[in-house]
Structure 1
Amino acid sequence: MSLFITSLNSGSNGNCYYVGNEQDAVLIDAGISCRQAETRLRRLGLSMQTVRAIFISHEHSDHISGLSKLAGKYQIPVFITAQTLKNSRLPLHTFPIRSFRSHEPIGIGDLRIMAFPKHHDAADPHSFTVSYHDTRVGVFTDIGIACDQLIHHFSQCHAAFLETNYDEDLLENGRYPYFLKQRIRGGKGHLSNQQALALFRTHKPPFMSHVLLSHLSKDNNSPFLVRDLFLPHLNSTQLIVTSRNEETPVFRVSARLEAQLEPVADLQA
């Protein structure tokens, strides 16, 4: 009972994550253009025809900028809270809108999506887990702190998209103005490399096969820096650093299979 996952893009220029089984899939956020989403899925051997729903974590533009065209073109239901919708300024009546509540699972085919609140400077921000039978994947980005709820859900995941937004020294000594530095590291902004590593080392379950480090800052982080930070602590977990410019390979995640490290190319609908 496998889930197939990929980051189509991850960063302040746009976020979009794909999680699905062989029949059904969901997108978490749609912060890249419809054309880019289609192109990147096609390169991976995936199709928009299997995407049954889009779940929106919060209203910031890097998470919704491509939503209207993408959901409108394919008439994909968009799951979004009332407060996020109110603050998003999305055009209404162009695609199906559905609501969700914290801690109430939603069934999309055989997938089960669970939302829970997170600390971020948005109207009603949420993180998500996607489950298929015993296999669970978490999407944990735009997080100010590793709260108890995040720890609980992270410790149950076979794979996780985990925010590593900034290196603390690079942010402190970088060119950002003081108010922006405080916004990023102030508890409702983003998770640092060091904070994410502490969560990973302390609460990673022994069965976690993949961790995808996500939402890296262009100015205050480096893929090589965060990779080197995590490498000594992985044990059997496969490390992937997502890109702000391209998709990752597709990874197979299963509660019953060893990690599949190669791209999966046989899922075209």
Structure 2
Amino acid sequence: MSLFIASLNSGSNGNCYYIGNNSEAVLIDAGISCRETEKRMKRLGLPMSRVKAIFISHEHSDHIAGVRVLSKKFKLPVYITDHTLQYSGLELETTVSFRAAEPVTIGTLTIHAFTKYHDAGDPHSFMVSGNAVNIGIFTDIGRCCEQVTRYFKNCHAAFLEANYDRDMLFNGGYPYHLKKRISGGNGHLSNDEALQLFLQHRPAYMSHLLLAHLSKNNNTPEIVADLFRAHRGNTEVIVASRFEETAVFEVRNSNEPIPAPVPVYSQTSLF
């Protein structure tokens, strides 16, 4: 048994992640337009009819820009906390409130929400479980708190933020207050912080790691790829793009150390 995952877009210009099985799926965030979401899923061979719900992590525009049209067109319930809905200013037809530590069931999928550090009103991250497979979505994270590490240790695959290279950020042209916002513990994870989480808490059976939410100005796919290259072991490491979808990857339910990753399509893996 398996789950299938893909990044439809990842970056400050929009975030949307797909997790599902052969009959049902959820989207985590909807930060790209409805049209682009449809186009990218069609290219991947993923039918929109399989999507049963959208989960929103927080109210920043790169996570909610497409949710109103997408949810209305496909009659999808939007799972969003009361505070995030209030801060977002969204007017949605069907919303369902969720709270941390109260799992939500969508068909045979279970979505676990947990709080995180980020400069938003009520930010949450998620782990999606089904077919004895756990998929973590760890983006827009200011620091690797106990919640993040606890869930990461149980993931067969994960979307993990690697937002900025420290040298590029601190030697770049951003004003001081913005550099502090990004790196100050309520902003984003650096490449080095993401690597340390991976090295210290990766389970032996983690087959896929999708590095996500790279900064346009303070990171490059090549920098983060080079950093992870020597440490990936048997985990396939993919850098998610801010311009296009990744491949679809199949994640299997083995809890044993893996001999090799198993992609459905071969594109976008950098190693």
Task: Give the alignment's TM-score, normalised by structure 2.
Answer: 0.95
Aligned residue for 1:17, secondary structure, equals strand
1:229 maps to 2:231: no
Aligned residue for 2:226, secondary structure, equals helix
Gaps (5+ residues) in structure 2?
267-271
Where does 1:166-177 land on structure 2 (aligned, <5 Å)? 166-177=164-175
CA shift at 1:259, angstroms? 2.8
CA shift at 1:261, angstroms? 2.0
Aligned residue for 2:181, secondary structure, equals helix
CA shift at 1:260, angstroms? 1.4
Q: Distance in 2 between matches of 1:118 and 1:239?
A: 24
CA shift at 1:48, angstroms? 1.1
CA shift at 1:105, angstroms? 0.8
Aligned residue for 1:233, secondary structure, equals coil
- Which residue of the partner structure matches residue 243 of structure 1? 241
Q: Distance in 2 between matches of 1:33 and 1:113?
A: 24
Where does 1:197-236 land on structure 2 (aligned, <5 Å)? 197-236=195-234
CA shift at 1:47, angstroms? 1.3
Identity value in percent = 59
Amino acid at match of 1:196: A
Gaps (5+ residues) in structure 1?
265-269
Q: Distance in 2 between matches of 1:217 and 1:144?
A: 14
Q: Distance in 1 between matches of 2:220 and 2:163?
A: 9
CA shift at 1:262, angstroms? 3.4
Amino acid at match of 1:110: T
- Kindly provide the CA deviation profile for residues 88-141 of structure 1, in whole angstroms up to 9, marking residues without a partner as x: 01014xx21001110111110000000000100001000000000310000000
Aligned residue for 2:128, secondary structure, equals strand
CA shift at 1:233, angstroms? 0.6
1:46 maps to 2:59: no
1:77 maps to 2:77: yes
Q: Distance in 2 between matches of 1:11 and 1:159?
A: 19
Moved over 4 A (4+): none
Q: Distance in 1 between matches of 2:178 and 2:47?
A: 38
Where does 1:103-182 land on structure 2 (aligned, <5 Å)? 103-182=101-180
| Alignment coverage as a number of residue pairs | 262
Q: Distance in 2 between matches of 1:67 and 1:163?
A: 21
Q: Distance in 1 between matches of 2:50 and 2:239?
A: 25
